[in-house]
Amino acid sequence: MSKRIKIKDIFSAPVNQAYTIMGWVRTFRNNQFISVNDGSCLANIQVVINSDQIGEDVIKRITSGAGISIQGTLIESQGKGQTVEIVADRVEILGDCDAETYPIQLKNRPSLEYLREIAHLRFRTNAFSAIFRVRHALAFAIHKFFNDRGFFYIHSPIITASDAEGAGEMFQVTTLDLNNPPRNEDGSINYKEDFFEKHTNLTVSGQLEAELAALALSEVYTFGPTFRAENSNTTRHLAEFWMIEPEVAFNDLDDNMDLAEDMLKYLIQYALDHCAEDLAFLEQRLLDEEKQKPQADRSEMTLIEKLKFCLEHPFERLTYTEAIDILKNSTPNKKGKFQYPIKAWGADLQSEHERYLVEKHFKKPVILTNYPKEIKAFYMRMDEDGKTVRAMDVLFPGIGEIIGGSQREERLDKLMQRMEEMHIPKDEMSWFLDTRKYGSVPHAGFGLGFERLVLFVTGMTNIRDVIPFPRFPGSAEF
């Protein structure tokens, strides 16, 4: 028996030779043509069988979804629609698939909502196999981008005792018996008896740990799961998501923006170069979906046009103060169309304002910088005016905030002052403050929400469709 060849490779393999392919039946037509997919690429290989040669009992078992092994000869296709096909000598059913109960009937174009409920099987569809191949390519490209630039991949902890990062509600980690936890004399729970002998949570960010590494290795990044127990019910939030957090010593805010823009463009280019077939499919899927919508709600660009547009234009960089001016004088603000009208400097920007800037005013990715200190985290570097901090948010069309970052406050006295103002317990953060005490240098970094990047590149609209097994309030299936 010949060695198995992946379907991805068979289209360029020499013809008139014997091959073995394995995969799953997509369709079976005319008792003669099997479309087989093994997930290595979007395309199916057409297998031609001769019913005289393949027994009736086997033919009966060639159903949609069945696992199958085919041995045969690759030939130039005798029909239209494909360049090559396999004439089968041997067909073996590896795993039967009962068509009566199999929940995926591809010809019905099942809805994304339905497939979300059967996430364990949705990999079997073209859309989800394409999404997860693109997701893989982007994950790989992230490591390649940083490795090629001399960054070191730091594994920040998943379980953390640090409760002071301020990035959101946390999931507690404990081995204590919830029905009968050990108590202190005052009735509070005695975490001294917990596994770590202290109160611990799942991490909401690897940033602080990345800063520790950056202040020795200079250029580092993290790429790991992150957990937020916020009760967020949107198409852009997950309780468990993956985040990329580069942190670079000696970088200022401009360097940080350059790194963010270079990285995003590199990743988009990588996807265009390596996932052309999948992206073309996802583009068509999006076009089909938008046909249902009224003309006004449809995108002006196709998916691939949109991705290329991002590469070709510099991201618009402006300060929060400049953005407020634009918004204050904008037509929707004057006509009272904003749900939250922009009245004065200092207001937090709502997603309607971000959308206006990105989708209406500039019509391209925007980097907003120098926000008021009151609406940003304690670790961001204070500007000279004492009012704003060196923060930056990268806003993408359709996604909103895809990156949030800043130049960090490296001056010990200023950092301590901010922690006091924002009621961050200093005693728990001594390890973090040590970096400012001993050889502190300017540095900057940011966090990229990986799923938000995948959303943008694949053109999907719900973040629950770009992670294999999404976790969100009320749902931890599979």
Q: Which of residues 242-271 bind RNA (CB under 7 A)?
A: 243
Residue that is written with structure tokens 């949030």 in the block = 404
Instruction: Tell me which of 12, 16, 78, 430 binds RNA, using CB under 7 A.
Output: 78
Per-residue binding letters, 345-374, with RNA (x by CB under 7 A): ---x-xxx--x-------------------
Per DSSP, 210 falls in state H
Closest approach, Cβ 244 to RNA, in A, equals 9
Binders of RNA among 186-215, rule CB under 7 A?
A: 205
Q: How far is CA 222 from CA 146, 155, 167, 208, 332, in A?
A: 10, 6, 16, 11, 40
Contacts of 277 (CB under 8 A, 6+ apart): 41, 42, 43
Q: How many residues touch RNA (CB under 7 A)?
A: 74
160 binding RNA? (CB under 7 A): no
73 binding RNA? (CB under 7 A): no
Per-residue binding letters, 442-461, with RNA (x by CB under 7 A): -----xxx-xx--------x
Closest approach, Cβ 342 to RNA, in A, equals 12
Give the range of 15-23, 48-56, 249-257, 277-285 binding RNA by CB under 7 A: 48-56
DSSP SS3 for 412: helix
Closest approach, Cβ 345 to RNA, in A, equals 16
Closest approach, Cβ 87 to RNA, in A, equals 7
440 binding RNA? (CB under 7 A): no
Tokens of 474: 């009320």
233 binding RNA? (CB under 7 A): yes
Instruction: Tell me which of 221, 241, 266, 281 binds RNA, using CB under 7 A.
Output: 241
- CB nearer to RNA: pick between 66 and 212: 66
- CB nearer to RNA: pick between 107 and 335: 107
Q: 470 near 242, Cβ under 8 Å?
A: no
Instruction: Tell me which of 37, 64, 222, 388 binds RNA, using CB under 7 A.
Output: 64
Give the range of 29-37, 137-145, 380-388, 420-428 binding RNA by CB under 7 A: 29-37
Closest approach, Cβ 380 to RNA, in A, equals 11
> Residue 216: is it exposed, middle or buried by C-beta count within 10 angstroms (0-12/13-18/19+)?
exposed
Dmax over CA atoms of the chain, in Å, equals: 85
284 binding RNA? (CB under 7 A): no
Q: Write the DSSP assignment of 248-312 as a string of letters.
A: EET--HHHHHHHHHHHHHHHHHHHHHH-HHHHHHHHHHHHHHHTTS-GGGS-SS-HHHHHHHHHH
Closest approach, Cβ 269 to RNA, in A, equals 20
Q: 249 near 476, Cβ under 8 Å?
A: no
Contacts of 76 (CB under 8 A, 6+ apart): 15, 83, 84
How would you label 2-32 residue by residue, b for 16+ Cβ within 10 Å and e otherwise?
eeebebeebeeeeeeeebbbbbbbbebeeee
Closest approach, Cβ 243 to RNA, in A, equals 5
Binders of RNA among 387-406, rule CB under 7 A?
A: 400-404
Q: 274 near 137, Cβ under 8 Å?
A: yes
Tokens of 454: 């995948």
